[in-house]
Amino acid sequence: MNCFPRDLLRFFGGFMENYSINDASGKLDRKTVERNRRIRMNGLIHELTSLVPPQHFVPSKEQLSQRDQIDQVAAYIMQLKDRVEKLRKTKELVKRKIKTKGSNTGNSAIPGSRIRVVKIREIGSSLEVVLVTGLGKNFGLHEVIIVLEEQGVEVVSISISTMDNRICHILHAQVKVSRLGVDTLTIYDRLQKLIN
């Protein structure tokens, strides 16, 4: 009867010792898992923010907390989404106008179909591109946007109008990195080749 409590005490003592060791190793494992998770998250956040142009971050990315960086990335994604939607609508509008004009007059008989004009005006860090073509000249507006994007210019708005037998496209764009400027001569040459 006297040895029972001692045996019981010895049993619980050993159990508690094992429990302490297991608990310590469990905490260690949890710390390792948490550390690895944080490293992975930091890597993913860095990868995500590297996809956004540096000039989008205000103030600079280095001065922002991770939470602020993520907020600004989300805002940039929404801007891109809106821009894509506007460009899609513009594209559809142009396609409808060309289709309507083409079916009404017949492209082969349009007297102004050979008209092709390219004008580029640089205003500070902004650019105005004017393209005038005959209705018989079909070119993808998206191709013009690609040319401008490749030259470091971002299209912010497009207006399209038809006059007589001509279509006038006016694109307003912003130079992505203003300190580097933009090569308007190269843009002009590439657009001339595109619409001719």
Confidence of residue 192 (pLDDT cuts 50, 70, 90): confident
Q: Could you tell me if 113 and 191 lie in one domain?
A: yes
Q: What is the pTM of this model?
A: 0.43
pLDDT recorded at residue 109: 43
Query: What's the DSSP call for residue 111?
Result: T
Tokens representing 178 are 């203003």
Q: Is residue 113 part of a domain?
A: yes
Q: Could you tell me if 66 and 113 lie in one domain?
A: no
Q: Is residue 83 part of a domain?
A: no
Q: Could you tell me if 57 and 118 lie in one domain?
A: no
Q: Could you tell me if 8 and 66 lie in one domain?
A: yes
pLDDT recorded at residue 102: 56
Q: Could you tell me if 54 and 121 lie in one domain?
A: no
Q: Could you tell me if 35 and 111 lie in one domain?
A: no
**Residues of the domain holding 22:** 3-74
DSSP-based three-state secondary structure for 7: helix
Asked if residue 195 has pLDDT above 80, the reply is: no
Asked if residue 41 has pLDDT above 60, the reply is: yes
Average pLDDT over residues 175-188: 79
Is the alpha carbon torsion for 90, 93, 99, 104 positive or negative? negative
pLDDT recorded at residue 25: 58
Q: Could you tell me if 161 and 114 lie in one domain?
A: yes
Query: How many domains would you assign to the chain?
Result: 2
pLDDT recorded at residue 18: 54
Rounded Cα–Cα distance for residues 142 and 120 (Å): 18
pLDDT in tens, 114-124: 557 788 888 87
Give Cβ neighbours of residue 87 (< 8 Å, ≥ 6 apart). 142, 145, 155, 158
Rounded Cα–Cα distance for residues 15 and 22 (Å): 10
pLDDT recorded at residue 30: 85
pLDDT in tens, 122-147: 887 888 998 888 776 666 788 888 88
Q: Could you tell me if 105 and 148 lie in one domain?
A: yes
Q: Is residue 86 part of a domain?
A: no
Q: Could you tell me if 112 and 163 lie in one domain?
A: yes
Rounded Cα–Cα distance for residues 55 and 59 (Å): 9
Q: Could you tell me if 183 and 105 lie in one domain?
A: yes
Could you tell me the CATH number of the domain that includes residue 188? 3.30.70
183 bridge partner residues: none
Q: Could you tell me if 119 and 174 lie in one domain?
A: yes
